[in-house]
Amino acid sequence: MDSLLSQLPIGLSIGAVLLLIALGLTFTFGQMGVINMAHGEFIMAGAYTAYMLQDWAGSQAVVVALPVAFAIAGALGWVLERLAIRHFYGRPLDTLLLTWGVSLVLQQAARDIFGAPNVQVVAPSWLSGRIEVLGGNLPYARLFIMVLAIACVAGIWAYLNRSAQGRRMRAVMQNRELAACSGVATARTDQLTFFIGSGLAGVAGVALTLIGPVGPSLGTYYIVDAFLVVVAGGLGQLRGAVIAAGALGMLNSYAEFWTDASLAKVIVFAVIIVFLQLRPQGLFVLRTRALT
C-alpha cells in the first residue's frame, strides 16, 4: 500500500515532464496546425545549450541555460518557419515530411558537431537531494521540473490572456481573415507563435538533462509522447494539455507499477486510442479557423 501511494508523486512528476515537452507543441501544432516532427530536435538543442554553457557557468549551467535555450531553440524554430514551413501552410502531410527531414538533418548535425556519444551535463549540487512524499522519494530534480512546468504554464497563460500580443495570437488562430481585416499582422504573429513554441521545447530540453541522456537522438525519445499529450488534450488548449499530461503521467506511473514498462506503453496507447474514438477532438475543443 505504501508503494501504491508513493507512485502518486511519481505520476505527477512524469506528468510534469510530459507537460513540459508538450507545451511548445500546443503552440506550433495545437494553435497553428503544423505537424512539427522537428520539435524533438528543438528539445535536443536546448539540452546541448546546457552542455555548452557548462564551460562558462559551471555547475549552474542548467539554470543559466533556461533563457538561453529558449532563445536558441526559438531562433531555430523561427528560421525553420521563415525558410520552409510558411510555404507549406495548409498542407499538413507535406509539412510532416518536411519537418521529419529537418529533424534528421538536425540529428546528424548534432552528431557532427558534438559527436555521437552522449555528453555529460552536471546537475547543480542543490538539486541533488530529495524529499519524502507519501513514503516515496521525490528528488529535487523532479521538483524542479514540476516547478518549471507550472511556471511555464502560468507564463503562457498570462501571455495569451493578458498581453496584447497574446490576444492577437489567439485572434489569428481563431479567425485569420477577421484578424487580418482588423489590422493584425498575421504573418508576423505566425513567426512569433513558432518562436515561442520552439523556445519552450528548448526549455524542456534543459530540464531533461537532469533526468535523461544528452545525445543526438534525445529528441526521438520524447516526440511521440509530446504529440500524445497535445492530441489527447485537444488542439490548442492549454488546460487540455495540462490535464492530459497529468492524466497520462498517472496512467504511466500506475500501469508500469502493476505491469512493466513495455506493457505500460501498450496500455497508455490503448487508452488513448479508445479515448480518441469516443472524443476525437480531445478533452477540450475550441472552434477555430486555423490554417487548414
Partner 1 sequence: MRNPFSRPLMAAVLLPAALLTACGGESKSPAAPGGGGDTIKVGVLHSLSGTMAISEVTVKNSETMAIEEINARGGVLGKKLEAVVEDGASDWPTFAQKAQKLIRKDKVAAVFGGWTSASRKAMLPVFERNKALLWYPVQYEGLESSPYIFYTGATTNQQIVPGLEYLTKEKGKKKLFLVGSDYVFPRTANKIIKAYAKANGMQILGEEYTPLGHTEYSTLVNKISAAKPDAVFNTLNGDSNVAFFKQLKSAGLADPGAMPVMSVSIAEEEVKGIGVGNIAGQPVAWNYYQTTKGAVNDTFVRAFQARHKGAVTSDPMEAGYNAVHLWAKAVEKAGSTDVAKVKAAAAGLSLDLPEGKVTIDGSNQHVYKTARIGVIQPDGLIKEVWASDEPIKPDPHLRSYPWAAGLSS
Within 216-235, the residues that bind partner 1 by CB under 8 A are: 217-218, 220-222
Nearer to partner 1, 1 or 93 (CB): 1
The half-sphere exposure of 178 on its side-chain side, counting CA atoms within 13 A, is 10
Q: Does position 55 bind partner 1 by CB under 8 A?
A: no
Asked if 219 and 40 count as a contact pair (C-beta separation under 8 A), the reply is yes
In the shown chain, the binding pattern of residues 240 to 269 toward partner 1, with x for contact by CB under 8 A and - for none, equals ------------xx--xx--xxx-xx----
Type of residue numbered 72: I
Q: Does position 118 bind partner 1 by CB under 8 A?
A: yes
Distance CA(35)–CA(97), nearest Å, equals: 9
Q: Does position 130 bind partner 1 by CB under 8 A?
A: yes
**From 7, 31, 36, 193, residue interacting with partner 1 (rule: CB under 8 A):** 7
The half-sphere exposure of 112 on its side-chain side, counting CA atoms within 13 A, is 6
Handedness of CA 72, 73, 79, 81 (dihedral sign): negative
**From 78, 88, 100, 140, residue interacting with partner 1 (rule: CB under 8 A):** 140
Q: Does position 210 bind partner 1 by CB under 8 A?
A: yes
The burial of 2, by beta-carbon neighbours within 10 Å (0-12 exposed, 13-18 middle, 19 or more buried), is given as: exposed
Q: How far is the CB of 169 from partner 1 (least distance, A)?
A: 32
Distance CA(33)–CA(241), nearest Å, equals: 15
What does the DSSP assignment read for 118-151?
-B--PPPGGGS-EEEETTEEEEHHHHHHHHHHHH
**From 16, 17, 272, 283, residue interacting with partner 1 (rule: CB under 8 A):** 17
Q: Pick the piece of the chain touching partner 1 (CB under 8 A) from 47-55, 81-89, 130-138, 272-280.
A: 130-138
Cell numbers describing residue 235: 488542439
Q: Does position 191 bind partner 1 by CB under 8 A?
A: no
Q: How far is the CB of 6 from partner 1 (least distance, A)?
A: 6
Q: Does position 121 bind partner 1 by CB under 8 A?
A: yes
Distance CA(160)–CA(92), nearest Å, equals: 25
The footprint of partner 1 (CB under 8 A) covers 2-3, 6-7, 10, 13-14, 17, 116-123, 127-128, 130, 136-137, 139-142, 210-215, 217-218, 220-222, 252-253, 256-257, 260-262, 264-265
